[in-house]
Structure 1
Amino acid sequence: MDMFIKRVKLILQSEDSECGQACLAMIFNYYGYGISLPELRKNHSAQTGGTKVSYLMETCNDHGFRAIAYSLTIEELRKLTLPCILHWNFSHFVVLTKINKNSVEINDPALGCMRIDQDKLKQYFTGVAVEIKKSESFSPVKPKKINIRDVTGKVIGFIPFIFKMLAASILIDIIALLMPRISQLILDKVIPDHDKNLLIFCFLVSLALLVLQFVISTMSDLTKIKFEAYFKSNWRSNVFSKLTRLPVDFFKSRGFGNIM
């Protein structure tokens, strides 16, 4: 029956202090409120020094959810509506997605989906959980579609490259169609009639077509290399330009590895 149970989609954090936001984004999307972590981060910036439970509750209220914080034992976790948020190792938040007989399943925004046995649960669970449900003011939101330009940025000047590669492909196909025709002409006319002049003509035409095919293929390959280099250069320029426009807090809350 597990295959019919709705899964909580994992969302990984990109900042050290936004584990709480990532957990909220997972649960919001589970209930049909399509919001990405960057959108949530933009509307509710992460708290310095770590996310507090009060911040989670306020954010839930702003998006049509009702959050209740509980102090409870591991045995009492079964009473909560899943998915819910668990305070983890006194400095982290995770989403509890399923309770099994001898283990639980969590979505850790820092490490991914995990199955935790009872011993580790006792070690890391602090006894604080946040149950989240839809409130009366809740209304579903469709997730925003990601446009290719959102990823690559504005890339201009690539149409001439595409036109050249398309034209080269068409010419190569035409040459490939002409070569069998010449072979057919040799079999039907040259050999039966012993026509040396026509044979020489067919040979020269075939040679010219092969040379032309080689030249076009070479030019097409060079165009592809230039297009790839142009696209990468333009894309890197867009990324660098975007990085220079980001606020200082973006770099303070991330390690060097996260930015690179």
Structure 2
Amino acid sequence: MQRFPHYRQHEQMDCGPTCLRMIAAYYGKRYSLERLREQCHISRLGVSMLGISEAAEKIGMRSMGVEISFKQLKEDAPLPCIVHWNQEHFVVVYRCTEKQVWVADPATSKLKYTAEEFCRCWTSNRKKGQDTGIALLLEPSPEFYKEEDDETDNGFQGMGFMLSYIKPYKQLVGQLFLGLLLGSLIQLILPFLTQSIVDFGINNQNLNYVYLVLLAQLTLSISNAGVGFIRGWILLHLGTRINISLISSEEHEEARRTFLNQQRGMEQMMSDLSSARIQEASLRQGCWTH
């Protein structure tokens, strides 16, 4: 059985696009979360099933939102599919049997539930004597495989990401490569000097030539050791600088995400408070008219 891919959501409201990202990866396409998040039209209240459906169709998938029973999910629904979870979250069902259900939760990891546990979190209604839940069925169309994904772009973005940290130290990188070239050149010359001692010094009994070449070998060996020391120092210095930059960038990104989550939470609280005031005013006006 094909191993189902799993991605973690970055922010609280990323569950929908992350689920779609997992399903697209299952069918062989790699999309960035940023791209799918934009296509899902996430608002301050989160993402809707309709938004996920529209995003899926934009990348070439056929989608259909349904309200079905567990039996229909197990026997008729094409898997993987996205289901509405606990009325507040989206997860992917990628395998389903009579007794067990395998779920990829973007908030945690890949999990296995019993059928009873799954239905308690999924079903929200009852039709024709059966408990039903909401699911978004997805299948790739021929257009899906014609669409360009972000796999190549991610590779270039990864290289660009690293180059952006190396670029400020391009002079050090140049010195590093120069040292590598000099060290290789010295290593290449030393065997020829040794051979020349035998060919021209010993065979011709020319001690002055032997001493001269030995002195040259000693000088080159010391130079090679010095070049190696400097190259190691540059490499250590460069690695330390890049690591510090990466850590600072990660801390900045984490702070940004925390700020955005707090901001969205505050917006939600203000929206709820505003709605409560409107309802209170309406009730008071109603009492007054009576």
* TM-score, length-scaled by structure 2: 0.68
Give distance in 1, aligned partners of 2:177 and 2:211: 32
The question of whether the paired residues in 2 share the 8 Å contact of 1:60 and 1:66 is answered with yes
Give distance in 1, aligned partners of 2:112 and 2:178: 55
Unaligned runs of 5+ in 2: 124-131, 266-290
Letter in 2 for 1:98: R
- Structure 1 residues 164, 143: CA separation in 2 closer, same or farther (over 3 Å shift)? same
CA displacement, residues 206-244 of structure 1 (integer Å, 9 cap, x when unaligned): 111111111111221222223324444555676678789
SS in 1 for 2:164: coil
Higher mean C-alpha displacement, 63-72 vs 107-116:
63-72
Q: Please state if 1:215 is matched with 2:226.
A: yes
| Cα-Cα RMSD | 3.8
* TM-score, length-scaled by structure 1: 0.74
Give distance in 2, aligned partners of 1:246 and 1:114: 26
The match for 2:37 among 35, 38, 41 is 41
2:236 aligns with 225
Percentage of matched positions with identical amino acids: 20
Q: Please state if 1:10 is matched with 2:14.
A: no
Q: Please state if 1:143 is matched with 2:154.
A: no
SS in 2 for 1:10: coil
- Structure 1 residues 246, 42: CA separation in 2 closer, same or farther (over 3 Å shift)? farther
Structure with greater contact order relative to length (CA < 8 Å, sep ≥ 6): 1
Q: CA deviation at 1:94?
A: 1.1
2:81 aligns with 84
The question of whether the paired residues in 1 share the 8 Å contact of 2:11 and 2:257 is answered with no
2:112 aligns with 115
SS in 2 for 1:154: helix
How many residues end up aligned between the 2 structures? 249
Give distance in 1, aligned partners of 2:120 and 2:40: 31
The question of whether the paired residues in 1 share the 8 Å contact of 2:179 and 2:227 is answered with yes
Unaligned runs of 5+ in 1: 255-260
1:186 aligns with 197
SS in 1 for 2:9: coil
Q: Please state if 1:154 is matched with 2:164.
A: yes
1:172 aligns with 183
The question of whether the paired residues in 2 share the 8 Å contact of 1:29 and 1:35 is answered with yes
The question of whether the paired residues in 1 share the 8 Å contact of 2:122 and 2:133 is answered with yes
- Structure 1 residues 67, 33: CA separation in 2 closer, same or farther (over 3 Å shift)? farther
2:129 aligns with none
The match for 1:129 among 126, 129, 134 is 134
Letter in 2 for 1:143: D
Alignment of 1:188-203 (within 5 A): 188-203=199-214
CA displacement, residues 23-42 of structure 1 (integer Å, 9 cap, x when unaligned): 23333555677643211223
Give distance in 1, aligned partners of 2:173 and 2:140: 52
